[in-house]
Amino acid sequence: MKVLIIEDERPAGQKLIRVLKEIDSKIEVIDVLRSVEQAINWFAKNPNPELIFMDIQLEDGLCFDIFENCRIDIPIIFTTAYDEYALKAFKVNSVDYLLKPINRKELKSAIDKFTIIHQSPTDYSKLETVIKQLQPQQKERFLIKIGEHYKSIPSSTIHCFYINERCTFLFTDFAKSYPLDYSLDKIEQLVNSKLFFRINRDFIINFYAIRDMIIHSSSRLKIILSGWTEKEEMIVSRERVADFKKWIDR
């Protein structure tokens, strides 16, 4: 992997080169630049590297001046002592934003992130692993307590989750309700979004439990759920109707 370092402090540049070699001996540092002007001239005359390590404050100004004079589509790992530029950095191809003194573990993590995202776009198994680690695990069943007993309820048999008097309940396909120790917000993250949809603040419903959908006042929808006999109506809130229709029609 060919990398370019843009760093105005010589000791910091030398340390970065050393740590990069320790992390991966195949990394080749093709040049070290110390100023905005140097960088602009370099990009005008040289082929692009695969990755750039860039400090924020250089000898003659901020590194962002480089982007105003050059078109740079190369992934960048920022290495800086200043955290106030993070938001601006992530608008210009940033892979990561590391604060000095650079931590070896964080540097390796940033390189791994670059490798997965930019060097192996077709390695879907790695990408899928990363995505799964970032996403909450979908629950296939919920454990409920009935007196002195516990019972596991498969998610597919749950017709809806709902709130009643500030408590959360699930309602099953055999018309029984059981309390849960989860908030509705948490349940929304845990269940399969293809199967469940949150129609308002108080209800998450199962697609296969819908018996009827009726046009309600103010462009809303009333849902009739199989087995539901409680007095509270299930109304799709106005702001969720459009998304609900897309969910139903997918």
Domain membership flag for residue 79: yes
Domain membership flag for residue 150: yes
Residues 123 and 232 in one domain: no
Residues 68 and 127 in one domain: yes
Q: CATH number for the domain including 163?
A: 2.40.50.1020
> Domain of 116?
2-134
Does residue 17 contact residue 30 with C-beta atoms inside 8 Å?
no
Residues 53 and 112 in one domain: yes
Q: What does the pLDDT read at residue 137?
A: 64
Domain membership flag for residue 125: yes
SS3 197: strand
Instruction: For 159-210, write each residue's pLDDT tens digit.
Output: 999 999 989 999 999 889 999 999 999 999 889 989 999 999 999 999 999 9
User: What ranges in 24-149 are assigned the alpha helix state H?
Assistant: 36-45, 64-69, 86-89, 104-114, 124-134
DSSP code for 230: S
Residues 12 and 122 in one domain: yes
CA distance 191 to 204: 10
Residues 10 and 116 in one domain: yes
Domain membership flag for residue 223: yes
Residues 130 and 13 in one domain: yes
Q: CATH number for the domain including 87?
A: 3.40.50.2300
Residues 153 and 117 in one domain: no
Q: Of 106, 134, 162, which residue sits at a domain end? A: 134
Q: What does the pLDDT read at residue 241?
A: 93
Residues 174 and 225 in one domain: yes
Residues 153 and 199 in one domain: yes
* pLDDT confidence tier of residue 95, bands split at 50, 70 and 90: confident
Residues 21 and 93 in one domain: yes
Total count of domains within the chain: 2
Mean pLDDT of the chain: 87
Domain membership flag for residue 28: yes
CA distance 161 to 10: 60
Q: What is the C-alpha R_g of the chain?
A: 27
Q: Of 109, 134, 159, which residue sits at a domain end? A: 134
Domain membership flag for residue 105: yes
Instruction: For 134-167, write each residue's pLDDT tens digit.
Output: 455 688 999 998 888 999 999 999 999 999 998 9
Residues 126 and 157 in one domain: no
Domain membership flag for residue 139: no
Residues 61 and 123 in one domain: yes
On the CB side of 176, CA atoms within 13 Å amount to 10
Domain membership flag for residue 140: no
Q: Of 70, 104, 134, which residue sits at a domain end? A: 134
Instruction: For 40-74, write each residue's pLDDT tens digit.
Output: 999 999 999 999 999 988 988 889 889 888 888 88
Instruction: For 237-249, write each residue's pLDDT tens digit.
Output: 999 999 999 999 8
